[in-house]
Structure 1
Amino acid sequence: MFNVLIADDHAVVRQGLSYLINKQPNFRVTDEEANGTDTYLRVEKGSIDILVMDLSMPPGESGLVTTQRIHDKFPNVRILILSMHEEPEYINKAIHNGAMSYVLKSSPDNELIRALMSLALKKDYIDSNIKITKSDIKQIESDGTDVSLTGYNGLSKREREVFPLMALGYSNKEIAQRLYISTKTVEAHKASIMHKLALDSRPELVRYAVHHHLIEF
């Protein structure tokens, strides 16, 4: 059972999240907080596995600062940012500061559920509705890993067509419509791509793509 802490300054949001999360097997909301300071203090008490946190919780410190403080002091706590901020600078900074996942409040519930399932497996998760933009390049490149292109060269023609759309954050439906294939076929291609490149998450895929200049904007 994963103990979840919810941090958001709106009570109605906390209640809604608690209801949704408690319906998922192996997840239990054990506490709620309304600002960054109290969130840190609650994590300090222990027994929290996953933190679902907003970035804007006035008055108090920025959620970005809270994220970094918690990650630096309690690296085993898996942080999921749930925010209205879609701007790349917020997303990049949150991930840089230690968040394992970033989900938009405007996205459907299944994005949050997928993020929780990924965190349970100690894997990163970026909302599928988030697109990578030019302003991301510099920061992502600085965190790029030197990965061989052997795996990429082994991708099929169709997989190479799916690859850039996947890296840029297009949904399965959007990719299917662009390439005139079914969503199930897209899912199969995505799984094959990740396997051939030996990557575990979309952030790793994006770093791979940017580091090797495999996507253009």
Structure 2
Amino acid sequence: MPDEIPGGGPARPIRVVLADDEHLVRTALRAILGAEPDLEVVGEARTGAEAVSVIRQTRPDIVLMDVRMPEIDGIRATEQVLATMDDPPRVVVVTTFENDSYVYDALRAGASGFLLKRAGADELVQAVRLVARSDSLLFPAAVRALAAEHAGARDARNAASELRARLSEREAEVLSLMAAGLSNAEIARELTLGAATVKTHVAGALAKLGVRNRTQAVIAAYESGFVSPR
């Protein structure tokens, strides 16, 4: 993610790639993001295959990825990028319908969150900044609702016990709070821990679950039954 300039200067802009088959959508997104001094659009793509190529060339921090595109869709493009790059960007799926099964599949594939196409300019900008920080879920209520909606479709088979056995007691507590949508700062206040300690527990939980980000961890918590949809 954005690094500080050597010597203690300000962080460089968050680098963003736009992947959408509609030219007008890309133009609107570029105009909104380009007006912000801390955001920089470094590439565009109109197909999933083109998105993979542009992402590899430009190495952005964030990708705004349409789910349905020609050649390969946003889900496959996300999978390819995350599987083949050493330091992949964080992917935000841009979609028309928040309960679309494509969105859930993209989140399971490793996307960090999703954004509705009808979102306002301020919401878009803040979403990019939030995902770049990666210390909380993007639109936690919507992610939890989507995970809960699909959780019953998976066969857990004692998965909750197996998941809990992988984690320390503190990591399990942190995962439960992540699933509730709390940020690192909120988890620190809830558990009376330092921010650095919470960050360590989050990283430990993600590593032990074999997931890339908080969103995948929350999905794993719901699918296993570790967290109840109710």
Which of the five TM-score ranges fits, normalised by the shorter chain? 0.5 to 0.7
* Cα distance in structure 2, aligned partners of 1:89 and 1:140: 17
* Cα distance in structure 2, aligned partners of 1:65 and 1:91: 12
1:42 correspondence with 2:54? yes
Cα distance change of structure 1 residues 205 and 193 upon mapping to structure 2, 3 Å threshold: farther
- Contact 1:80 1:99 survives alignment (8 Å): yes
How many residues matched? Answer: 187
Structure 1 residue 54 displacement after superposition:
0.4
Q: 1:82 aligns with which of 94, 106, 109?
A: 94
Cα distance change of structure 1 residues 148 and 208 upon mapping to structure 2, 3 Å threshold: farther
Partner AA of 2:82 in structure 1: H
Unaligned runs of 5+ in 2: 1-12, 192-197, 203-212
Unaligned runs of 5+ in 1: 154-162, 170-186
- Contact 2:95 2:103 survives alignment (8 Å): no
Q: TM-score, normalised by structure 1?
A: 0.66
CA RMSD of aligned residues (A): 3.8
* Cα distance in structure 2, aligned partners of 1:202 and 1:111: 20
Structure 1 residue 86 displacement after superposition:
2.2
Q: What percentage of residue pairs aligned between the two structures are identical?
A: 21
My pick for the range that moved more, 121-130 or 68-77, is: 121-130
My pick for the range that moved more, 114-123 or 69-78, is: 114-123
Q: 2:73 aligns with which of 62, 72, 75?
A: 62
1:52 correspondence with 2:52? no
- Contact 1:49 1:78 survives alignment (8 Å): yes
Structure 1 residue 106 displacement after superposition:
2.8
1:128-152: CA deviation from partner (whole Å, max 9, x where unpaired): 5623343234559669953677799
Structure 1 residue 88 displacement after superposition:
5.1
Structure 1 residue 191 displacement after superposition:
6.2
Q: 2:107 aligns with which of 91, 95, 106?
A: 95
1:180-214: CA deviation from partner (whole Å, max 9, x where unpaired): xxxxxxx9xx9646742658797456765774445
**Which residue matches 1:196?**
190
Write out aligned runs for 1:121-140 (5 A).
121-123=133-135, 125-128=137-140, 130=142, 131-132=145-146, 133-138=148-153
Cα distance change of structure 1 residues 192 and 101 upon mapping to structure 2, 3 Å threshold: closer
1:21 correspondence with 2:71? no
**Which residue matches 1:31?**
43
* Cα distance in structure 1, aligned partners of 2:59 and 2:222: 37
Structure 1 residue 36 displacement after superposition:
0.8
* Cα distance in structure 2, aligned partners of 1:151 and 1:42: 37
Cα distance change of structure 1 residues 152 and 44 upon mapping to structure 2, 3 Å threshold: closer
- Contact 1:101 1:115 survives alignment (8 Å): no
Cα distance change of structure 1 residues 195 and 207 upon mapping to structure 2, 3 Å threshold: farther
Structure 1 residue 6 displacement after superposition:
0.5
Q: TM-score, normalised by structure 2?
A: 0.63
Structure 1 residue 50 displacement after superposition:
1.5
**Which residue matches 2:210?**
none
